[in-house]
C-alpha cells in the first residue's frame, strides 16, 4: 500500500549529481505489451532512474502540495518528455535540469514537456514538477483516498496506486517493466501526525513550527504502483526478527493507530509477522529487502495493499498479513510482466495463505482454506487466469477474486501435487524468484523455470489451467466385488477445455473401519480401474485432500438384482425404459455432466416408458431413476 510522502520544498539543486550517483542503472527491458490506459508511446523513449516525492499532506482530505523530482535516461533521441498526471492536479511550474521551463502542456492526464535541445541517447535528465490539488475520485481504485476508521475513530489519508492510479498523486511513468532504481518520499504533516512510506526512515525534520517531515528512502528497484504513503494519528510499534542466514536482524516497523485498545485487539497478530517472515524466507529465499525493513501502516481500506517494504492494511488478520507479506516476493521483488499476468502477483500471494496455515497452523486448517478457495473458484465456470489485453484494462477483471486469487492459488497447489516432490517444488519457487528478482516475469516465464528444474514438459498443464478456462467435472462410480474394487471416472469441462489431464487421489473406506489412499491418473474422458483390495469397500471418496479444483460426485453401482430399469445404451432420439417392478411409482431425472437438470418428472406405475430426447445434442448424460428406497444412476450416451 502507499504511504503518504510529504516533503518540505527545499531540495538543493546541487544534489542532482549526487542523486544520479545513487541510482546507477542497469539495462531494463521496456514493455511492448499492455501498459496503462493513458500511456503515451513517448514514454517508451526514456528509462526512469529515480523518484523523489516531496509533499505537504494531512489526514483530513486528499489535498496535496509539493513537487516530484524524476531522474531519467534517454533510450532514444527525445524532443518531448511525457509523464502521466491526473488533470485534477494543477502544475505550478516545471524545472528541467534545475532551470525553469515554460514549454509544457498538461491535459488528458498527460504532461508533455517540449525540450529546446534534443536529449541524446544515454543522456541523463532531472525534472522537477511542482503541483497541487486533490483527486476527485472516491472509488476503491482511486490512487489517493481519505477515509475514517470507525473502530478506532481515526482519519487516514493513504494511497493505493495499483493498477493505473499512481498519476492521481505524483507525475509518473506507469510501465511495469520500468522499475525506478530508488525512491525518496518526504512527507510533511502536522506535528501530531505520522507519515509512513517505503524503505528506511532516514530523518524526521522540523521545517516550520507545528510541522514534521518524515524522510523515507529506499535503494531497491521499485515498480511505480508500489510507491506509497499513509498519514494518520499513529504510534510506532517496532520489533526485530532474526532471519536464518542473515547476520543482522530485520526491523518490523508498524505504524498503528494511537488508541488505548489497539494492542488488545491487534498485538498478537502483529507479532505473528515475525513467524511469517521466517517461514517465507525459508520457503522462498531471504526476505528481498533485508537491508531496509518490513512494516505496516493501518488504513480503513477494506483489505490490504503490498506496498514495497511497508504494507497498508485494514487490520492484522493472520491471513491478510500473510498474503501481503508474500507479495514482497511475488509482486514486489518479482512483478507481473503485464497485468495480463496478474497471477504472478495474486495467485502466489493467495497460495501463501495456504502455506502459512499448512506450516504454522496444521494441515487440517490448510485443507479447510483450500476447500473454501475451491468453492469460490467454482463460481467462475469460464474465464482464464491469463487475461486478454481488453480484460487487462479493467481493474475489476484484473483483481477478479474467483480467478486471479482463488483459482490462481488452486492451480499452484495442483502443480505442486502433479510434481509430487516438495523439495523440488520449493526449489522451483526460489529459482524463479532468483532469476527474475528486481524485474518482471510472466506466467510463461514461470512455466519455463518449472520445466527446467523438473526436467519435464508441463506446457499441457498451463494450456489447461493457465491459458484455458473452466475446470473439470468428475463423475466417479465404484463397485466392490470380491477382492477387487472397480472404479470408473468420467470427466468433462465447464468451459472451453473439454478434458483436463490430471492425477487424483481416491480414499477407500473398508468395512472394518480401515482406509487407504490411492493416486490414479485421468488420461482420457473415461477411465476404468480394477484395484486389488484386502477387504470389502463400503465407500470411496474422490480427492480427500482437495488437491484438484473440480466439481465431482461419487456413486456406487447397484448390483444387478437392484436394477430398476433396462434400456438400450447408447441411444439415438428416444430412450426406452423397461421397468422390472410394474407396481411402483418412479422418479426420473436426466442431467448434463455439469449437473444442470434437463428432465425431472414422476411417472405412475407402468412396465414401459419412452423418453423423447431428440432435442438433445449428442454426448454423455446422467440418468437417475428412483423407486421407493432404491436409486439407480447411470451414464447414458446419445448418438447423432
Spatial distance between the Cα atoms of 403 and 405, rounded to a whole number of angstroms: 6
Bridge partners (DSSP) of residue 480 are 485
Contact between 92 and 133 under an 8 Å Cβ cutoff? The reply is no
Contact between 325 and 15 under an 8 Å Cβ cutoff? The reply is no
Kindly provide the residue ranges of all beta strands, DSSP E only, lying in 244-344, ordered along the sequence.
Answer: 250-257, 294-298, 304-305, 310-313, 334-336
Rounding to the nearest 10 degrees, give the CA dihedral for residues 461, 463, 468, 470: -20
Contact between 222 and 198 under an 8 Å Cβ cutoff? The reply is yes
Pairing of strands 502-510, 537-542: antiparallel
Spatial distance between the Cα atoms of 201 and 208, rounded to a whole number of angstroms: 19
Residue owning grid cell 490512487: 143
Bridge partners (DSSP) of residue 526 are 490
DSSP state, 611? E
SS (H, E, C) 3-61: CCCCCCCCCCHHHHHHHHHHCCCCCCCCCCCCCCCCCCHHHHHEEEEEEEEEEECCCCC
Q: What is the pLDDT of residue 35?
A: 66
Bridge partners (DSSP) of residue 625 are 588, 632
Which helix or strand (DSSP H or E) is residue 603 part of? strand 597-603
Q: What is the pLDDT of residue 240?
A: 98
Q: Which three cell numbers stand for residue 382?
A: 469460464
Contact between 135 and 62 under an 8 Å Cβ cutoff? The reply is yes
Residue 186 CB burial class (10 angstroms; 0-12, 13-18, ≥19):
buried
C-alpha dist (Å) from residue 20 to 95, 98, 128, 292, 432? 16, 14, 14, 20, 30
Specify the pTM.
0.85
Spatial distance between the Cα atoms of 315 and 333, rounded to a whole number of angstroms: 24
Residue owning grid cell 519435464: 456
Q: Which three cell numbers stand for residue 10?
A: 527545499
Contact between 215 and 202 under an 8 Å Cβ cutoff? The reply is yes
Spatial distance between the Cα atoms of 142 and 162, rounded to a whole number of angstroms: 9
Q: Which three cell numbers stand for residue 324?
A: 501481503
Pairing of strands 99-101, 46-56: unpaired
What letters, b where the CB count within 10 A reaches 16 and e where it falls short, cover 407-442? bbbbbbbbbbbbbeeeeebbebbbebbeebebbbbb
Q: What is the pLDDT of residue 556?
A: 67
- Please provide residue 458's backbone torsions phi and psi, each rounded to the nearest 5 degrees: -105, 20
Rounding to the nearest 10 degrees, give the CA dihedral for residues 490, 494, 497, 503: -50
**146-201: per-residue pLDDT in tens?**
999 999 999 999 999 999 999 999 999 999 999 999 999 999 999 999 999 999 99
Nearest to 404 by CA among 473, 341, 335, 314: 341
Which stretches in the chain have pLDDT values below 50? Answer: 1-34, 558-561
Spatial distance between the Cα atoms of 633 and 328, rounded to a whole number of angstroms: 50
Q: Which residues contact 344 (CB under 8 A, 6 or more apart)?
A: 330, 331, 334, 335, 336, 337, 441, 442, 443, 446
Q: Residue 631's CB: how many other CB atoms inside 10 A?
A: 15
Q: Which residues contact 75 (CB under 8 A, 6 or more apart)?
A: 30, 44, 45, 46, 47, 121
CA atoms within 13 Å, Cβ hemisphere of 366: 20
Q: Which residues contact 479 (CB under 8 A, 6 or more apart)?
A: 485, 486, 556, 557
Amino acid at each position: 500500500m502507499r504511504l503518504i510522502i510529504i516533503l518540505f520544498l527545499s531540495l538543493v539543486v546541487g544534489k542532482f549529481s549526487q542523486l544520479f550517483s545513487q541510482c546507477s542503472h542497469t539495462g531494463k527491458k521496456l514493455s511492448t505489451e499492455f501498459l496503462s490506459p493513458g500511456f503515451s508511446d513517448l514514454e517508451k523513449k526514456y528509462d526512469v532512474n529515480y523518484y523523489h516525492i516531496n509533499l505537504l499532506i494531512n489526514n483530513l482530505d486528499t489535498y496535496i502540495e509539493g513537487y516530484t523530482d524524476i531522474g531519467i535516461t534517454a533510450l532514444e533521441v527525445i524532443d518531448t518528455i511525457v509523464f502521466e498526471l491526473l488533470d485534477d492536479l494543477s502544475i505550478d511550474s516545471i524545472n528541467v535540469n534545475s532551470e525553469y521551463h515554460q514549454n509544457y502542456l498538461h491535459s488528458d492526464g498527460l504532461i508533455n514537456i517540449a525540450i529546446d535541445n534534443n536529449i541524446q541517447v544515454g543522456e541523463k535528465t532531472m525534472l522537477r514538477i511542482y503541483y497541487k490539488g486533490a483527486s476527485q475520485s472516491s472509488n476503491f481504485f482511486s490512487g489517493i483516498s481519505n477515509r475514517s476508521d470507525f473502530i478506532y475513530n481515526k482519519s487516514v489519508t493513504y494511497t493505493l496506486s495499483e493498477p493505473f492510479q499512481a498519476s492521481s498523486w505524483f507525475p509518473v511513468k506507469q510501465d511495469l517493466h520500468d522499475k525506478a532504481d530508488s525512491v525518496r518520499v518526504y512527507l510533511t504533516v502536522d506535528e501530531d501526525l505520522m507519515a509512513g512510506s517505503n524503505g528506511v526512515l532516514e530523518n524526521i525534520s522540523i521545517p516550520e513550527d507545528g510541522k514534521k517531515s518524515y524522510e523515507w528512502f529506499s535503494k531497491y528497484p521499485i515498480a511505480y504502483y508500489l510507491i506509497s504513503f499513509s498519514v494518520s494519528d499513529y504510534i510506532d510499534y517496532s520489533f526485530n526478527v532474526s532471519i536464518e542466514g542473515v547476520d543482522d536482524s530485520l526491523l518490523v516497523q508498524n505504524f498503528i493507530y494511537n488508541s488505548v485498545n489497539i494492542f488488545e485487539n491487534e498485538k498478537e497478530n502483529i507479532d505473528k509477522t515475525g513467524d511469517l517472515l521466517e517461514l517465507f524466507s525459508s520457503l522462498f529465499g531471504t526476505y528481498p529487502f533485508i537491508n531496509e525493513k518490513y512494516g505496516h501502516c493501518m488504513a480503513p481500506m477494506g483489505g490490504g495493499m503490498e506496498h514495497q517494504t511497508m504494507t497498508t492494511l485494514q487490520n492484522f488478520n493472520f491471513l491478510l498479513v500473510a498474503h501481503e507479506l508474500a507479495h514482497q516476493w511475488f509482486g514486489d521483488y518479482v512483478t507481473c510482466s503485464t497485468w495480463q499476468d496478474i497471477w504472478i502477483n495474486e495467485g502466489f500471494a493467495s497460495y501463501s495463505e495456504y502455506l502459512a496455515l499448512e506450516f504454522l497452523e496444521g494441515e487440517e486448517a490448510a485443507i479447510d482454506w483450500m476447500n473454501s478457495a475451491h468453492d469460490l473458484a467454482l463460481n467462475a465456470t469460464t474465464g482464464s487466469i491469463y487475461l486478454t489485453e481488453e480484460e487487462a484494462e479493467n481493474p475489476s477483471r484484473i483483481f477478479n477474486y474467483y480467478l486471479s486469487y482463488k483459482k490462481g492459488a488452486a492451480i499452484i497447489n495442483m502443480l505442486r501435487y502433479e510434481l509430487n516432490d516438495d523439495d523440488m517444488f520449493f526449489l522451483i519457487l526460489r529459482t524463479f524468484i532468483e532469476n527474475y528478482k528486481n524485474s518482471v516475469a510472466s506466467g510463461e516465464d514461470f512455466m519455463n523455470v518449472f520445466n527446467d528444474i523438473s526436467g519435464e514438459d508441463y506446457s499441457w498443464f498451463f494450456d489447461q489451467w493457465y491459458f484455458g478456462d473452466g475446470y473439470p467435472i468428475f463423475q466417479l462410480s465404484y463397485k466392490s466385488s470380491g477382492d477387487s474394487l472397480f472404479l470408473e471416472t468420467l470427466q468433462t469441462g465447464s468451459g472451453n477445455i473439454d478434458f483436463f489431464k490430471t492425477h487424483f487421489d481416491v480414499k477407500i473406506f473398508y468395512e472394518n473401519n480401515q482406509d487407504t489412499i490411492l493416486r490414479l491418473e485421468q488420461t482420457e474422458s473415461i477411465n476404468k480401474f480394477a484395484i486389488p483390495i484386502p477387504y470389502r469397500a463400503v465407500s470411496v471418496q474422490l480427492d480427500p485432500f482437495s488437491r484438484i479444483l473440480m466439481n465431482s460426485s461419487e456413486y456406487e453401482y447397484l448390483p444387478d438384482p437392484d436394477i430398476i430399469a433396462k434400456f438400450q445404451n447408447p441411444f439415438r432420439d428416444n430412450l426406452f425404459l423397461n421397468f422390472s417392478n410394474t407396481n411402483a411409482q418412479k422418479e426420473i431425472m436426466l442431467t448434463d455432466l455439469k449437473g444442470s437438470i434437463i428432465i425431472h418428472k414422476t411417472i405412475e406405475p407402468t412396465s414401459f416408458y419412452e423418453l423423447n430426447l431428440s432435442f438433445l445434442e449428442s454426448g454423455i448424460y446422467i440418468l437417475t431413476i428412483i423407486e421407493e428406497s432404491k436409486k439407480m444412476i447411470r451414464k447414458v450416451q446419445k448418438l447423432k
